[in-house]
Amino acid sequence: MRFWLKMSVCAASIAIAVMASCEPPMPCDSSDTCDQCVICAEDGPCKELFLACIQIADCFPFGTCAEDCSGDMTCQQKCAQKYPEGVQPAQKLNACLICEQCPKRCAMLTGDCGK
């Protein structure tokens, strides 16, 4: 769950309007930055998961809480207890955005991938 810090900065704007789009056939991971890749993935291959997360009140709060834990599992478990409905949708969104669509551009955030 390491993309949330970046996501929290622009999530509100993205929810209201699409900030960027991908030009086929360029994959999102070819974007210049991790932020651009995530925005591309939210608007493309991960759009359904992103929109689902917006609809679940606990999704983004869980992600932000877990990010603030800096890998501390006890802290992350407390976040899961505090935002139980957000755990699964946030994990699915993170897997799509970071692990599947942006593994190169967001390589510094892929620590939870494949676990």
How does pLDDT run across 31-84, given as a tens digit for each residue? 999 999 999 999 999 999 999 999 999 999 999 999 899 889 999 999 999 999
The angle formed by the CA atoms of residues 29, 33 and 37, to the nearest 5 degrees, is 40
pLDDT of 15 above 70: no
pTM of the model: 0.74
Integer Cα distance of 49 and 97 in angstroms:
9
Confidence check: pLDDT of 91 > 60: yes
Q: Give the helix, strand, coil percentages of the chain, each rounded to 5.
A: 70, 0, 30
pLDDT of the residue at 32: 93
Selection from 88, 103, 111 nearest residue 38 by Cα: 103
Domain hosting residue 35, numbered range: 4-112
For the chain, how many structural domains are there in total? 1
| Mean pLDDT over the full length of the chain | 81
pLDDT at 112: 74
What is d(CA 8, CA 4) in angstroms, rounded to the nearest whole number?
Answer: 6
Query: So what's the pLDDT on residue 115?
Result: 56
Predicted confidence at residue 110, as pLDDT, reads 83
Separation of alpha carbons 109 and 2, rounded Å: 5
Cβ distance 45 to 96 under 8 Å?
Answer: yes
